[in-house]
Amino acid sequence: MDGAALQKHLLRMFERHGVELDADEDGWLTTDGDFPSVRAQWHAATAGEPGHLDIDVVLSEERCIEESFAGHGADGCTAALRAFEQSALHPLLAACWYVTDDRRLTIAAWETGTRTWDVFAGPFALHGADITDLEMLEQVPAAIETAWQREAPSPELHWLRLVYRRTAEGEARCEVLLDNAPWKAGTDALAALAWPPEGHYSAHGFMLLDVRDY
């Protein structure tokens, strides 16, 4: 899918969910010509690696959410767009555009000292043979909340990307990014869960945390 077609697809996706954006000639979709703005870029598969879809959501001159979704198969871009819509779109809509559909995401409140954080989390995007459901995913929010309570985050919007992947060779990769940077406490919390020790699969989660104003 070329850049123009991808921009139109993303524009229609946001429209379906109640957000009207403006398209510019550089591939960005803006909110009344300002932030937040969003752009999608597709990178075709290379030898041994699937293609991937990069989603950038610019919040301000200094802050940009960076998300990426693998696209497997002949129509990898469409598959990656579906994964984005399933797991990350609705948390973004709620936190950045204030459009909330609680049928499509989980909303919670986490306490850290004197602050309350509104948490918007999408369902995990799962891929892999024989992987239709992972019961242990229900343990993820509590594990990440415990790690978050030990942090001293600045009182602004933050985002978490959670990835667990097990290869056909039995190697596991676990990573949690906080505001696009590796977050060791979150990674350790995610890795400590009882992931299935066999099989070739991946799980990709996304959540945003916004400090509550009083």
Q: What residue segments make up the domains of the chain, in order of their start?
A: 1-101, 105-214
pLDDT for residue 36: 97
pLDDT for residue 131: 60
Whole-angstrom CA distances from 190 to 45, 84, 98, 103 are: 28, 21, 28, 25
Note the CATH number of domain 105-214: 3.30.500
Phi, psi of 36 (to 5 degrees): -70, 150
pLDDT for residue 179: 98
State pLDDT tens for residues 137-163.
889 999 999 999 999 899 999 999 999
Phi, psi of 161 (to 5 degrees): -115, 125
Torsion, Cα 23 159 203 121, to 10 degrees, reads: -90
pLDDT for residue 110: 96
Q: Which two tokens stand for residue 179?
A: 């505001």
pLDDT for residue 132: 56
pTM: 0.92
Average pLDDT in the chain: 92
State pLDDT tens for residues 21-50.
999 999 999 999 999 999 999 998 887 778
Hey, which bits of the chain come out as E strands? 22-23, 29-31, 34-43, 51-58, 64-71, 106-112, 115-121, 125-128, 158-166, 172-178, 181-182, 201-211
Segments of the chain with pLDDT less than 50: none
pLDDT for residue 50: 82
Rounded CA-CA distance 4/7 in Å is 5
